[in-house]
Amino acid sequence: MITYQATLFSGTATETGDTSTTPIITKYDREGIFYLDITEVSGDSPTLDIVFKVYDEVSKKWYELASFDQKTTTGQDVGFIEYGLDSSVAVFYTIGGDDPSFTFSVSGHFKEG
């Protein structure tokens, strides 16, 4: 089995966004481990929601596959997805609160199979 690593997002975000224009191509992958690392948080009652979505080539739509629990502080999290990566995976993130800012990265380790 071939394994590789990829970064899905890395930077500072102050508003909701996604990586659907630069997804990770996963059509040959069997499983993935996803890592979230939040290094800086500011604002009043900031919240960060991260959802992993897969792209369906037939409907041309993104569908929710998995998510992390809502985050409000710095820290790390990890998640595992097996059999469901489909053709492409992107990160969709929603940021809430007053004047929120999150510096974070989301990366994955994938196994082809």
Q: What is the CATH number of the domain that holds 61?
A: 2.60.120.1110
Displacement of CA 30 from its chain's centroid (Å): 17
Q: Are 80 and 32 in contact (CB under 8 A)?
A: yes
* Residue 87 confidence (pLDDT): 82
* Residue 104 confidence (pLDDT): 98
Per-residue pLDDT tens over the stretch 10-26: 999 999 999 999 999 88
Domain count for the chain, please give it. Answer: 1
* Residue 103 confidence (pLDDT): 98
Per-residue pLDDT tens over the stretch 31-87: 889 999 999 999 999 999 999 999 998 999 999 999 999 999 999 999 998 876 778
Whole-Å CA distances, 28 to 14, 55, 62, 95: 33, 14, 18, 31
Q: Sorting pLDDT into bands at 50, 70 and 90, what band is 1? A: low
Report angle CA 9, 13, 14 to the nearest 5 degrees. Answer: 160
Strand partners, 6: 108
* Residue 62 confidence (pLDDT): 95
Domain range for 38 is: 3-112
